[in-house]
Structure 1
Amino acid sequence: MVRYTKEHKQVTRQRIIEKSGQRFKQDGIDGSGISTLMSDAGLTNGAFYAHFASKDDLVAHVMADQLRTQIAAYGTLRPGRAGLEDLIREYLSPAHRDHPGTGCPSAALLDEIGRCEDQTKQAYTDGARNILDEIAARLSPENPQSARGKAIGLYTMMVGTLQLSRALSDRKFADEVLEQGIENGLALMR
């Protein structure tokens, strides 16, 4: 029997989380079985339970990781409101719409997260709070709490706009929804 180091186990676990995040956003949580998730990570089904107690446990870890990664990416944006404008334009872009597997977990999975167990809802809630805090801090650096309502409005508008655009079969209409979402987002920033 081969014994792996603790570091190897952590690297393998992180690979499962990252690959599962992509698969969940592409095919949905319910549409992604353990065998597919493990195959994506280059592992056998039997290795799953060495890393996670259940699929729900994996989903909670994936949500936490996905939202942490999303927030970390905000750090690469220009400071303040300029970076927030960049975020709105990038988030509501055809490229983001057309590649859900590499995009925002909220737009891809929100309906399913609402039906998940408490552990996943808590991981999502913590991540969503951090995203809203980041947006509020960009809207009002001197008093982020004063911009919390505006941050909630902006984030929910962005997520809903992206979801609607993804659901439309008419490409021109879907692009129009994104363009109007950008205008609405920029107006909310004022």
Structure 2
Amino acid sequence: MRYKPEYKQKKRQELLTISGQIAKKDGFAATGVDGFMKAAGVTSGAFYSHFSSKQELLKALIEHELQHSFDMWQNNPHDNAQDWIEFELDRYLTPAHVQHPEQGCSLPTLASEVARADQDTKLIYETELLRGHALFSQHLGSEELAWAIICQLAGAILIARAATDPHLQKNILDANKMIIRQYLDSHPAVST
């Protein structure tokens, strides 16, 4: 049976969304093609009509997930730096983001997977990461500050997820919000 090109593209996006959720929750390397496809409600054979290999799926997932993060950052309703970053701190550093990795940003979950991947996968990650960095730099007025904030956000989520006590998780998030805010309050490019 032949499907319309729109159907195939829609199905691919659905597979990427579902596979992304599983990869962020359970780990990409720890999940086989069968696990991804079962969650999507399709056969493993259907996988190969969309991706040539599991590595190809990882590349597509990275682009898809980081594009989603970029879209969220880009759709932040604030223009001035202080309000923009406050919005991101309150959106990103939340207990829900810690407890539901499948719904959150891929940076805290897939960066270690990418670090073990091939050069092509790393280049896709780097390209998408640089797009996000450029957006943060634009709003924060500093490339260095943008790197520091991106890393602190992702690191805070990663460290909080490794803790079992919800109170400790919240303390980790709150401490990072406080430190980022204190730093930004003293940084002239952001506080004006």
Q: TM-score, normalised by structure 2?
A: 0.91
How many residue pairs get aligned? The number is 183
Q: In 2, Cα distance between the equivalents of 1:113 and 1:188?
A: 30
CA RMSD of aligned residues (A): 1.2
Task: State the secondary structure of the residue aligned to 1:50.
Answer: coil
| Match runs of 1:44-83 below 5 Å | 44-77=43-76, 78-81=78-81, 82-83=83-84
Aligned position for 2:154: 159
How far off is 1:170 after superposition?
2.3
Q: Indicate conservation of the 8 Å contact 1:57/1:119, yes or no.
A: no
**Match in the other structure for 2:42:** 43
Does residue 115 in structure 1 map to residue 110 in structure 2? no
1:188 Cα offset (Å): 3.4
Aligned residue among 165, 173, 176 for 1:170 = 165
Deviation at 1:58, TM superposition (A): 0.5
Distance 2:102 2:183 in 1: 28
C-alpha distance in structure 2 between counterparts of 1:60 and 1:106, whole Å: 14
Q: Runs of 4 or more off by more than 4 Å in structure 1?
A: none
Cα distance, 1:75 vs structure 2: 2.5
| Partner in structure 2 of residue 143 of structure 1 | none
The whole-number CA distance in structure 1 between the counterparts of 2:72 and 2:146 is 18
Q: Are residues 1:18 and 2:17 paired?
A: yes
Shift of 1:68: 0.6
Q: Distance in 2 between matches of 1:121 and 1:18?
A: 20
Same amino acid, percent of matched pairs? 28
2:190 aligned partner: none
Alpha-carbon distance in structure 1 between the residues aligned to 2:183 and 2:43: 48
The one-letter code of the counterpart of 2:48 is Y
